[in-house]
Amino acid sequence: MLQEFRKPQRLMGNAFEITVVDTDERQALEHIDAAIAEIQRIEQLLTTYKEDSQTNLVNRNAGVQPVKVDAEMFNLIERSIRISQITDGYFDISYGGIDKRLWNFDKEMKELPDPGSVKEHLKLVNYRNILLDPEKQTVFLKEKGMRIGFGGIGKGYAAEMGKRLLQQRGVQSGVVNASGDLTVWGSQADGKPWTIGIANPDNARLPFSYLNITDTAVATSGNYEKYVMIGGKRYSHTINPKTGIPVSGVKSVTIICPNAEIADAMATPVSIMGIDAALNLINQIQQVECIIIDDANRIYSSKKINLK
């Protein structure tokens, strides 16, 4: 009889959970362990916490020389730049220049960063200065001090690759949940579609709506998870790469589309660019939908969304 087998695992600094539908527990857990190993492999490639990772090698050589990288890394950077172009720079992997140095949401911040310092760091954020050479498979960050990071796309990419590996192993149905960025395929053990709760920004344990989905990815970006309070105002961990200041005005964004990498990458720019511009953009992209909740708990959604 078909059953759902789940395993939680801390990966990429986040709580992941992998679900596989199978008749055999031992086989299901082998599949899950293979997906975990694949995600750990991707983490080693993309991390900035490991001195000798390819990401750090590229960053260390900013303004110095191009760095040859794996095809996988090269292609991910190429796709990231394409998303930057589509979103008019609101998604930008070169945001690494303003990230931890100015805003640290894991520590208690008491005051806003110095505006002059923010301005200095902003000069280093520009995806157009990530120069790719497809022939040599090299990446060159044009300005010294530039840094790339995959915080806005890495989890989604890992979830997508975990799913693909499981499908290659013959898993017909499952879920890879990368701490709220998730991808599902097939159906539940009872044959019904997977039901996904859209988190309520004021109480993540109480979803405000449910979606029945299959062969779909869902990514949520919200200020209810990581934020700092300074002077009575809540600053979310989502930083606008054009201003260096965290987003305010939007509580949460949910993106629904077939690919987890795209869902993850689009969640951030949609939460930054302003509600009208975001809806306008999403309504022009095939197979990508969104739900936005603003600070006043008003709900906006793209054309094809039916909330129940």
What's the rounded mean pLDDT across residues 8-18? 96
Q: What is the pLDDT of residues 88-117, one digit of tens each?
A: 999 999 987 665 666 665 556 667 777 777
Are 34 and 66 found together in one domain? Answer: no
Look at residue 187 and tell me if it is in a domain.
yes
Look at residue 246 and tell me if it is in a domain.
yes
The residue ranges of DSSP E strands in 192-288, in sequence order, are 194-198, 209-213, 216-222, 227-230, 233-236, 250-257
Q: How sure is the predictor about 304, in pLDDT bands with cuts at 50, 70 and 90?
A: confident
pLDDT of 230 strictly over 80: no
Are 106 and 240 found together in one domain? Answer: no
> Which residues form the domain of 20?
3-40+153-301
pLDDT given for residue 200 in this prediction: 72
For the beta carbon of residue 229, count every other beta carbon within 10 angstroms. 11
Domain-ending residue, one of 116, 141, 166: 141
Domain-ending residue, one of 117, 141, 165: 141
Alpha helices (H) along 103-216: 115-122, 154-168
pLDDT of 189 strictly over 60: yes
CATH number at residue 112: 1.10.3980.10
Is 152 among the annotated ligand-binding positions?
yes
Is 264 among the annotated ligand-binding positions?
yes
Are 60 and 31 found together in one domain? Answer: no
CA angle 89, 92, 95 (to 5 degrees): 125
Are 252 and 297 found together in one domain? Answer: yes
Distance CA 176, CA 162 (A): 7
pLDDT of 164 strictly over 80: yes
Are 237 and 116 found together in one domain? Answer: no
Are 185 and 101 found together in one domain? Answer: no
DSSP state of 193: P
Look at residue 205 and tell me if it is in a domain.
yes
What's the rounded mean pLDDT across residues 224-240? 70
Q: With 0-12 CB in 10 A as exposed, 13-18 as middle and 19+ as buried, what is 201?
A: buried
Are 295 and 165 found together in one domain? Answer: yes
**Mean pLDDT across the chain:** 90
CATH number at residue 264: 3.10.520.10
Phi and psi based region of residue 212 (left: phi greater than 0; alpha: psi -120 to 50; beta: remaining): beta
Are 174 and 285 found together in one domain? Answer: yes
DSSP state of 192: P
pLDDT given for residue 53 in this prediction: 93
Distance CA 173, CA 193 (A): 10
pLDDT of 288 strictly over 80: yes
Are 175 and 271 found together in one domain? Answer: yes
Encoded tokens for 112: 């806003």
Q: What is the pLDDT of residues 234-270, one digit of tens each?
A: 676 778 888 887 877 888 899 999 999 999 999 999 9
Are 226 and 78 found together in one domain? Answer: no
Stretch among 136-150, 188-202, 290-304 having the lowest mean pLDDT? 188-202
Look at residue 176 and tell me if it is in a domain.
yes
What's the rounded mean pLDDT across residues 56-77? 98
Selected residue with higher pLDDT from 49 and 283: 283
Phi, psi torsion values for 279, nearest 5 degrees: -65, -40
C-alpha closest to that of 91 among 234, 247, 283: 247
Look at residue 45 and tell me if it is in a domain.
no
Distance CA 16, CA 262 (A): 18
Domain-ending residue, one of 120, 141, 162: 141
Look at residue 307 and tell me if it is in a domain.
no
* Tally of domains within the chain: 2
Are 22 and 171 found together in one domain? Answer: yes
Is 231 among the annotated ligand-binding positions?
no
Are 133 and 186 found together in one domain? Answer: no
Alpha helices (H) along 87-202: 99-102, 115-122, 154-168
pLDDT of 84 strictly over 60: yes
